[in-house]
Structure 1
Amino acid sequence: MIIQPKTRGFICTTAHPEGCAQQVRQQIDYIQAQKKLSGPVNVLVVGASTGYGLASRITAAFGAGANTIGVFFDKPAEGARTASAGWYNSAALERAAEEQGLKSHSIVGDAFSDEIKSKTIELIKAEYGQVDLVVYSVASPRRTHPVTGETFSSVIKPVGEAYSNKTVNFHTGEVTQTTIEPATDDEVRQTIAVMGGEDWGMWIDQLSAAGVLADGAITVAYSYIGPEVTHPIYKEGTIGQAKIDLEKTAIALNEKLQASGGHAYVSVNKALVTQSSSAIPVVPLYISALYRVMKDKDLHENTIEQMYRLFSEHLYSEKGADEGHLIRIDDWEMREDVQEEVMKRWAAIETDTIDELADLVGYREDFFNLFGFQTAGVDYEADTDPAVDIKHLV
């Protein structure tokens, strides 16, 4: 079939297998062109098929020669429906790992469930013995609690009062005002339950209790803080409340892991185009302006570049984290000169000036790249089989 992008709002409902594979190969090529990393040996990535989770798995495997397990919730192709991008990404990664003699397995299912945790533990016992790095990179709008059975849904809203600011339809370039009503107390509670640290803590506790977490193991989860313009819907909004919970979890986990020489961190990453960030009002416009400024200053990093810096400069170096167990690899984004220029442009951005002041073209390209489209070297008019197997699917 001829596979073309089909969008619905901030979601692309199709994905291209060869385009996704090419994106994965580009990330692998970047990592292999860098200085080899020291450690880890066996890595578990929970939320491994896209974005920072995928880049973490690639960095560990092809930068340090690590064996990797990826846990993710993605769907294979069915009839005329393509597989999800994460499925194609993971299939490409496993092919490349096998070619280079690296062990890798993929587990597809609900990472919040005890069933998937148990399945992962059994796999580690059978094939890996123990893991010495656990990356937690789950991005989901819903979670069913494995003990109570309650299903929670997250929301992206301010807390306390409504918030109004500019936003952009990144498909059309139209800049408009948006107003987001504040969350209720129950919406805050549910967002924390989905996006906070409880499930991360459950993963580490169960891995440790099963004896499959190595002495000196490191675990890291991902977060974002951002500039003042996004604080009402991010840092100070429902997501921010969940991230506070995530940071508290890091402190608690660090206390547990330190007994065996291990550490728990939260890495505060740069704003990048992801399916999750595309859904947050105001954020796509901010990222578009940020891209233009950081590219002009030769400071722009994509996902794989961020993850290499995380591994090489923080997780496996003496640089480590700050006193709150936060690793700030958003440091270039938050530089004073960068933010001053972004805010100057922000004030002037309208529909008729966005192409001049922001990098909406780059934003769109990164968005479609997420799904394997607009990738150099791929023939999108070619007849393509959407059915792709993941080599070591458990």
Structure 2
Amino acid sequence: MQVTFRRTGGNLMKMSTVGGENHFLNLQISQETSDWNDQVFSKLSVEMMPGVSTPYVVFSSFPDFLENQRHRRSKIIAMMNGDESLGERKVVVDCYKYAMEHIIDIDYEYIDHIPVYRVEKLYESTKTLDKTSMKNWIRHFANNDLHVMSGSKRIKERCKRVNQWVNDFLWQLLYMMNKKQSTDPEELSEGMFQELFLRFAKLFELKLVGTPNVGRYSFDIGGKEISSVPDAVVIDPGKQNSVLAAVKVSKCYSKWNVLETHTKLRKVSESHDPVEHVDCELKGQHLGGMLSVLCDSLFGPTGIFGFIVQATEVTIVAFATSENYLECIKTGNFPERDSATVRYSEKCNILTKKGRCELVRTFLDMVDLMEYL
């Protein structure tokens, strides 16, 4: 028997081969990623990065996906940080933050805690955007900069579009609240939470499609075809349906929320799992979704983004791989270094002002990045 080693989670693990056949090929991994949990991480040489970061820090790891494309990487980073776009981008970011705080004027942890009348009022007020409201909005996010106010017709047009998308988002939220808070309340489905997230993401002009408008993807592990249907994908049909991110949705909130006691929060920090706020089944299922679209990634097969949506809580994920990772999991021949890493953000609740504002810059820059890739 010949013994080889591979690295996973920072440790070397023995893998034995008999008669040239790698035992990796006999791993018990379900052919449907909907059955996966986080135990597949070690089997597939995926290291979970310790701790959680802000959404933008996780997004900022995209250069890792382009590590083997140095010229393209430098060009994209230069465009993302170009002086010409920074000024206008700041104005747009401020515009969206104003909308997240003052137009979507709700700040609650759970959907059944929001008074229905409050969302009804906001929904009615966003049906139209009169000249006075527009002027106040522009004046606020432009910080009274007359040059911006008088010369930024594109930004004004964007504000009008954002207002319409806010109305669409509030429409879905009101629909769900009416079901949840009626005299005969109904349980909210994952499809409803999926639609709420899609409408929120589309506020930023992020292009997504959700099930049932998502096809089945597949990939190979040890000669076995694995199938996955992501709940949604961020996709660009203009680039051969290339994918920026895979989305996994659950109707359940995370186990830990910001209102819990310091004792419980300390328990999380002492846990062996650095990402306690994401359920172990969701981690595995989402990893399967990202793996399934990896060969169609806008970055090439070296990385993909993801979103895990737990009711109204959003976690951003960055999955970076070695250039030949898909071949590695197909054959079981891993290099002696870590083959892939997955990084998670803190959760951001889109029902809270802080949560929405935390996602603004990341979502807007994702849209720009899709244009540059």
Same fold (TM over 0.5): no
Over alpha carbons, which structure has the higher Rg?
2
Relative contact order, CA 8 A, sep 6+: which one is greater?
Answer: 2
TM-score, normalization: structure 2? Answer: 0.26
User: Per residue, is there more helix in 1 or in 2?
Assistant: 2
